[in-house]
Structure 1
Amino acid sequence: MIFNKSFVKKKKVRVKEKSNAEKPGWKKKMVSLWIQEIRGVYLWLCMAFAARVLIRFLYDLAAYRDNNTMPEYFWHYTAGSSREMTGIKLELLKISSIVSSWALSLMPSKVLTLQAPGFIFANPILLLWIRDKTQMIPNIPTRASDYVLGRIRLWEFLSLLPVHVLVTFLLSMSLRRVLANDMIEIALGTIQYAEGGNPWIVDFFSEMLITAAYTVALQVLPVLFQLNRVPRWCVVWLFFPIFNFSVDSKGMGSAFCPNILLTFGLMGYGAPEMRIMSSMLGGMIGGKIMQTYFPDDKPVSADLAVF
């Protein structure tokens, strides 16, 4: 009887992984991994939502120079709540508007039109800082690339997905209860993509390929900067073309965060399932690219690859 050697080999690997999972310490390892992931995701979300509010405030403040008006929330939180600002207060507001314009000019151009969600939710400076604190990057496409690279196993990766979604959903619902109504729309406003303007296959591959490029850049460029003794924070400038890349017919950039899109869907805003799937696949493709051209020091077993 002739046996398929590749089938026997894969079967042995599955049996070996199963036996490893049944070791006494695997539960402790999983709990430790979940705690690490929860800490990272929670810290990332708090910083990202705060950054979203700050950027929106800078956007509205910069717009004051052109239309001489501020949104309702500004007057609600301003001492005195008076719209008739005169003297030094008015001058300070005008100066702040100019400074805000300068600050926004240092960001991706689509931040000026609120079409760069990736700059907020997938900012490399924020994610790398969290990695230094928690030893992980709280980004699902990046975790998908970690699986392809063999850094985590399949069952570990699958167990981390509910953690990302659940923590994001619970924190978002908590913020809806404690934030004022005018702040909810700013911090938790949905990311709207124009569906139907382009053929779905165009949007699908656009999202997938730019996510793959983002994943590779996030894990490779900081290492290259470090080897060449360049400050790591400078890497964010190289991400501007990625954040400005359009993934729909109206020019919206990618968020690079499927859990954010899914959470907004669970909150009733509608979840773009196609973009969630393409973002996951993009992370795996990015992992395959790194496995081929930028492999880890430790050899990666071919049985852990998905392609």
Structure 2
Amino acid sequence: MSFPDLTPDLKAAMPELRGRLLANEGLAPLTWFRVGGPAQVLFTPADADDLAYFLQRLPTDLPVYVVGVGSNMIVRDGGVPGVVIRLAPRAFGEVKAEGDIITAGTAALDKRVAEVAASANLSGLEFLFGIPGTIGGALRMNAGANGGETKDILIEAIAVDRRGETHRFNNADMKFTYRASGADPSLIFTAARFRGTPSAPEAIRSRMAEVQAHRENAQPIREKTGGSTFKNPPGHSAWKLVDAAGCRGLKVGGAQVSEMHCNFLINTGNATAHDIEMLGETVRERVRATSGIELQWEIKRLGLKAN
């Protein structure tokens, strides 16, 4: 499907815009699942000032969504009405270490941030080495793995609001909870600062190797997947509940619950977003029926279902 083309009017209202503005641009290639429809408008800002300029002049009734590398997301088959903003690594991906502080743009890969911290002999960020997303996603969902969470290391996050105004948030302002942040969902994070702990380089590298080995041995990282599908309910592991409900290997269309780790859904090659989402909902129903526990999606679902 396609949406009405809004780009001529937007460009006319933003004559000094430097970023790339595209109409009805496919989002499937930008996601790990490789499924989903187009964005009505896809905007890639040239830098933070360009992003602010765009937001200042964007009609307030147009919805805005932000995507990173699409590792924890299902874009639905009907596409995404409104504006999808993608922060590119060239403009928002810089990572640097100064003393015990790591500064990173929100398009920087979590793994890259862990590597820069290790090169500066700073520990505490090793868990990021096992998260296949960006810092923007880590801020939004308090990303964590292998015993660490974003809330453990964050000093400050910088964001732009829908009016194009810049704000700074300390750790408490982010209102982190398990796999979530209480920060205003309309904010677009552009950068963050983290604090590491000076440590022996051998210990840091050893911990990173453990994190990587865990991913390779326990997760289907070479499949078209979206990472962990469901949040762990208090006192439970989501994968154990899924397994106990008999869902390991379960299929809907071209989507399948991973045989390797059953809190992962995979696109076996020809899945639609509908297949993947319906598989997830089927798993939730079976877990509810067998355990009485309501699994909550960790993967974000974006856009419209196909007609």
| Structure-1-length-normalised TM-score | 0.23
Higher relative strand content? 2
Higher relative helix content? 1
Greater RCO (Cα-Cα under 8 Å, separation 6 or more): 1
| Structure-2-length-normalised TM-score | 0.23
